């Protein structure tokens, strides 16, 4: 803490607890891909807030649907005997979009809870199918799967685990893109692996699309060794890669698909897991079995009302196709900056991009110069600037992102 720092009452996530209250940028208004701070300064939100605001900020249609729902019945829980209309409707909508026919949906309040739920669903389905010894989870490094003890244990970013004690047990990490490493874990642990977790495109772990054939290879290994494949689509789901789901983009079927973020574009917190028959059938086979898991806000009625409108907007405005357009326009502009030698590496698909700066470059400094110029990007350790704008971003604002990056580097 600097001697003059005065922390405020709000303890910020992923921030220095001793940071001065005055050092935070307070955003007060948004419109499409643009947000404004409390001094009226305009920013292009090239991160869709935190990878989530696909439909853009300030959409009154969502506010009206949530307000209508809150006046009617804010929510009713889904435990045991109860249901609510919006949760039923949203589950039906998501299942109709799901890559695997006859899937079902379990709702959570966000992505980390979705990941924990997927761990439990996988282990419980194996147990109910007479394979209780299948508890081992394989995840990859780098990767990001959230911050609950389950999600943290799966996350392949050691700094996110430091000082927090053990996460959930029975987790083995392998390097990304290395199918041989996955096969070794399967061979060394016969009949023990419950599931392999993978983001279609690694997001907060550095923005890494998979190498060709990796995800289909992972699917084949899971089939060969009897494990579930879990695609963590918290960032990729609902259009980000130019397909409704990342699994579809790469031609891979998942047993469990986690989602959050874009399902409501962050207007109200909501997440969940799409559960394919390979998992929900064994869970439902014994009529007396109870899946003892769920959150007070699983299927929150007002959040599901927001989700329904966000899906309407996504479909009506062609936002899935728009993600491909973003990639076609942003990708070449970023590669040109790389080809000039200003950055080391450019990676991305559709509406998600990572720019690898040269070693020794001050990543936060580049971010801060871009911020001063009115563009919000996100530095992610150790050398990547992440770009993930709202899918509704106008071309002129989209073009500002590489232009501002170039200026911040030169
Ligand atoms: C792939 C992935 N999984 C899980 C999470 C955790 O989601 P949440 O922050 O909503 O708990 C994130 C968040 O960025 C994510 O990117």
Residue that finishes a domain, picked among 290, 316, 342 = 316
DSSP letter at 57?
Answer: B
pLDDT of residue 393: 98
Q: Is residue 387 lining ligand 1, measured as CB closer than 6 Å?
A: no
Q: Is residue 357 lining ligand 1, measured as CB closer than 6 Å?
A: no
The answer on 154 and 70 residing in a single domain is yes
Ligand 1 pocket test: pick from 50, 146, 270, 354 the residue with the most ligand atoms within 8 Å of its Cβ: 146
Specify if 324 maps to a domain: yes
Measuring CA to CA, how many Å separate 83 from each of 74, 281, 292, 386?
13, 21, 16, 39
Strands in 171-175's sheet, in edge-to-edge order, are: 104-108, 271-275, 256-259, 228-232, 193-198, 136-141, 171-175
DSSP letter at 299?
Answer: T
Nearest atom in ligand 1 to the alpha carbon of residue 114 is 4
Q: Is residue 389 lining ligand 1, measured as CB closer than 6 Å?
A: no
3-state secondary structure of 283: helix
pLDDT of residue 114: 99
The answer on 207 and 76 residing in a single domain is yes
What is the mean pLDDT of each successive set of 10 residues along the chain, which is 410 residues long? Answer: 82 97 97 98 98 98 98 98 98 98 98 98 98 98 98 97 96 98 98 99 98 98 98 98 98 99 98 98 98 98 98 98 98 98 98 97 97 98 95 98 97
pLDDT of residue 4: 78
Nearest atom in ligand 1 to the alpha carbon of residue 233 is 1
Residue that finishes a domain, picked among 300, 316, 332 = 316
The answer on 79 and 33 residing in a single domain is no
25: CA distance to ligand 1 center in Å? 22
Q: What DSSP element (H or E) covers 196?
A: strand 193-198
The answer on 290 and 184 residing in a single domain is yes
Q: Domain range holding 242?
A: 62-316
Domain CATH code at residue 390: 3.90.1150.10
The answer on 360 and 296 residing in a single domain is no
Q: What is the dihedral of CA 116, 119, 123, 128, to 10 degrees?
A: 70
What is this structure's pTM? 0.98
Q: Name the token pair of 311.
A: 């899906």
Domain CATH code at residue 93: 3.40.640.10
Specify if 115 maps to a domain: yes
Number of independent structural domains in the chain: 2
CB 401 within 8 A of CB 331: no
For ligand 1, atom 7: residue with the closest CA = 111
pLDDT of residue 1: 52
Nearest atom in ligand 1 to the alpha carbon of residue 109 is 10
Measuring CA to CA, how many Å separate 25 from each of 98, 298, 376?
38, 32, 11
Per residue, what are the HEC states of 127-192?
HHCCCCCCCEEEEEECCCCCCCHHHHHHCCCHHHCCCCCCCCCCEEEEECCCHHHHHHHHHHCCCC
Specify if 307 maps to a domain: yes
How far apart are the C-alpha atoms of 118 and 137, rounded to whole Å? 11
Q: Is residue 266 lining ligand 1, measured as CB closer than 6 Å?
A: no
């Amino acid at each position: 803490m600097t001697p003059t720092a005065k922390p405020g009452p709000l303890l910020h996530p992923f921030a220095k607890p001793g940071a001065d209250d005055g050092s935070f940028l307070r955003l007060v208004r948004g419109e499409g891909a643009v947000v404004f701070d409390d001094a009226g300064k305009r920013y292009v939100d090239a991160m869709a807030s935190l990878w989530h605001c696909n439909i853009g900020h300030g959409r009154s249609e969502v506010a009206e649907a949530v307000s209508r729902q809150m006046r009617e019945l804010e929510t009713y829980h889904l435990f045991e005997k109860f249901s609510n209309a919006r949760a039923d409707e949203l589950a039906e909508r998501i299942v109709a979009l799901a890559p695997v026919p006859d899937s079902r949906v379990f709702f959570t309040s966000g992505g980390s809870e979705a990941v924990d739920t997927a761990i439990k669903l996988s282990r419980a389905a194996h147990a109910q199918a007479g394979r209780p010894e299948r508890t081992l989870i394989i995840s990859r490094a780098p990767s990001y799967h959230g911050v609950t003890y389950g999600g943290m244990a799966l996350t392949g970013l050691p700094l996110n685990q430091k000082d927090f004690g053990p996460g959930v047990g029975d987790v083995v990490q392998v390097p990304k893109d290395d199918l041989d490493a996955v096969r070794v874990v399967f061979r060394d642990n016969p009949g023990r692996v419950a599931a392999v977790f993978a983001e279609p495109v690694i997001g907060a772990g550095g923005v890494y699309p998979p190498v060709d054939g990796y995800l289909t290879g992972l699917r084949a290994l899971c089939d060969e060794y009897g494990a579930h494949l879990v695609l963590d689509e918290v960032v990729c789901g609902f259009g980000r890669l130019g397909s409704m789901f990342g699994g579809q983009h790469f031609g891979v079927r998942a047993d469990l698909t986690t989602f959050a973020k874009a399902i409501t574009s962050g207007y109200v917190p909501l997440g969940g897991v799409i559960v394919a028959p390979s998992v929900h059938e064994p869970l439902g086979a014994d009529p007396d079995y109870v899946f003892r898991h769920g959150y007070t806000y699983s299927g929150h009625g007002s959040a599901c009302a927001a989700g329904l409108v966000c899906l309407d907007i996504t479909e009506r405005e062609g936002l899935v196709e728009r993600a491909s357009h973003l990639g076609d326009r942003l990708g070449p502009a970023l590669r040109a900056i790389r080809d000039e030698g200003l950055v080391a590496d450019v990676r991305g698909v559709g509406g998600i991009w990572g720019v690898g700066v040269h070693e020794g470059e001050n990543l936060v400094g580049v971010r801060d110069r871009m911020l001063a110029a009115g563009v919000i990007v996100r530095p992610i350790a150790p050398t990547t600037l992440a770009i993930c704008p709202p899918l509704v971003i106008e071309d002129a604002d989209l073009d500002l992102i590489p232009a501002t990056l170039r200026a911040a580097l030169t």
